[in-house]
Amino acid sequence: MTDASKQSVADDGLTALLRRSPPANPEAERALLGALLTNNKAYERVSDFLVAAHFADPLHGRIFEAIARRIDRGMLADPITMRAEFEHSGLLDEVGGPQYLGQLLMAMVGIVNAGDYGRAIHDAWIRRQLIEIGENVVNNAYGARADLEGGDQIAAAEETLFKLATDKGQDGGFVTFERALTGALQVAEQAFQRTGDVSGLTSGLRDFDKKTGGLHPSDLLILAGRPAMGKTALATKVAFSAAQALMREAEDKGTKPRGAVAIFSLEMSSEQLATRILSEQAEVSGEKIRRGDIGQREFDRFVRVSRELSELPLHIDDTPAISLSAMRTRCRRLARTKGLSLVVVDYLQLMRPAIGTKPESRVLEISMITQGLKAIAKELSVPVIALSQLSRQVESREDKRPMLSDLRESGSIEQDADAVMFVYRDEYYLQQRMPKDSAYESMDKYQVAMEEWQRKMALVHNKAELILEKQRHGPTGTISLFFEGEFTRFGDLDTVHDV
């Protein structure tokens, strides 16, 4: 075949492609409308997923909308009642007037098939949407959206596909109370069979698990605190402990872990986060690791522990300023390939809302992000822990323990979260108030002040508080924790010891 012949074939193929009509099923549209006009009960078979916009023929969509409007009002929608409405509106003038209703009745095959007709119409609509999405992807790639870089275009396409997949109207609906009771009974059975009163995924913190029952699917938990309080260290501790629990469970059953733990680290790199976990587990100071100031024995322990930890189902994504749509896509992908049991986000103020959205204010932007995180938790049925910064107004108070009002953009965060908790270390603030001899008239007064400061420091040394300020499913209160600054390590605080 010559080059000219090949080009001719290619041109013919392109012409045929361009001449193809978008997917549509006018026969199903007419048959459904005829069924609805014959018996309004047919509407119940399609009302939960079909809307006027799904019809390929706009006229059929408007007829469907008019019929649905009368049925929803409890009124009869048959050829006689609809004839009067259409004569007044002139809707059917372009197809010969109200006589068109007779053609719809003739197209009706059977009322019992109404659901099938509706699904055929809906399927054709989905295919048309996919074609439109594909065209937008091609046009944007050619430069129609010069403001979007290649990576952002991928995220925008994924977001559009996600909306089409979730908003298509076929999911959701009512669940019978019997089914809901079965789910509640399963959760209670899991709590009964497990030790330690933990029905959810363990956090690795004994007292926290006792108060909350662990980390539960579909919950959005906000962990907030001022800088240097240890938010990242505490969240990393929880993520690591959850991954360990999943690994132990898999080893006991002789299977692969049923899910993974995903950490979205927007502030620290994956290497920095891995170094922090290694420092904690190998008990080698992270500062010494960075400086290379460790001996051979410490380095060998560091390497040995890293090999042990490499098998954990722990995944870190350190994409800076990741968008909500990209995060959702990556969570769905991980859930599909490895399973997903926990998501940790550090931290939500560094996130961007979904690609293509332009919130009018920062408060609205944070609201969109928290609502999106809650949607991820519900869709994938996993707990999501999102870290959050606190406003500076904490520093102006004598008692610097955080409150709900200290949350930045607090209204939306507090509203969407199932639990809000604050990490607080009195030792950090007390350390800054160490007496200086220049502030006292005599050394005796300075010595008295120094001794009092040392006494207070001894009381709060290596201690932290996890303030559970809101919990939708249980009690609130303060949980005492152990904090070891050298390894940035949190743990249980033992206040009672066996003699």
Cβ-contact 361, 289 below 8 angstroms = no
> CA 46 → CA 115, 116, 124, 174, distances in Å?
6, 9, 15, 15
> CA 328 → CA 125, 162, 253, 384, distances in Å?
25, 9, 30, 12
For residues 397 and 399, what is the distance between their CA atoms, to the nearest angstrom?
5
Cβ-contact 201, 245 below 8 angstroms = yes
The pLDDT of residue 111 is 73
**429: cis peptide before it, omega within 30°?**
no
The pLDDT of residue 171 is 47
The β-bridge relationship of strands 477-484 and 463-471 is: antiparallel
The pLDDT of residue 305 is 79
> CA 144 → CA 141, 149, 470, distances in Å?
7, 11, 47
For residues 3 and 435, what is the distance between their CA atoms, to the nearest angstrom?
89
End-to-end CA distance of the chain: 94
Q: Report CA Rg, the chain.
A: 31
For residues 450 and 442, what is the distance between their CA atoms, to the nearest angstrom?
12
Q: Which two tokens stand for residue 65?
A: 């909308």
Amino acid (one-letter) located at 124: A
Bridge partners of 478?
Answer: 467
Q: Is 466 helix (H, G, I), strand (E, B) or coil?
A: strand
> CA 318 → CA 84, 288, 332, distances in Å?
63, 23, 17
Task: Mark 94-130 as b/e (b = at least 16 C-beta within 10 Å).
Answer: eeeebebbeebbebbeebebbbbbbbbbbebbeeebe
The pLDDT of residue 384 is 94
For residues 408 and 413, what is the distance between their CA atoms, to the nearest angstrom?
8
For residues 241 and 198, what is the distance between their CA atoms, to the nearest angstrom?
14
Q: Which two tokens stand for residue 2?
A: 């010559």
pLDDT along the chain (499 residues), means of 10: 57 58 89 90 85 90 88 85 77 71 79 87 92 87 75 76 62 56 63 60 85 87 86 88 87 84 86 79 70 73 78 86 81 85 88 70 80 88 90 76 74 80 84 76 78 80 86 84 79 61
**For residue 268, what is the enclosing H or E element?**
none
266: left (phi over 0), alpha (psi -120 to 50) or beta: alpha
Tally of CB atoms within 10 A around 469: 21
Q: Is 106 helix (H, G, I), strand (E, B) or coil?
A: helix
Whole-model pTM: value is 0.65
Bridge partners of 407?
Answer: 390
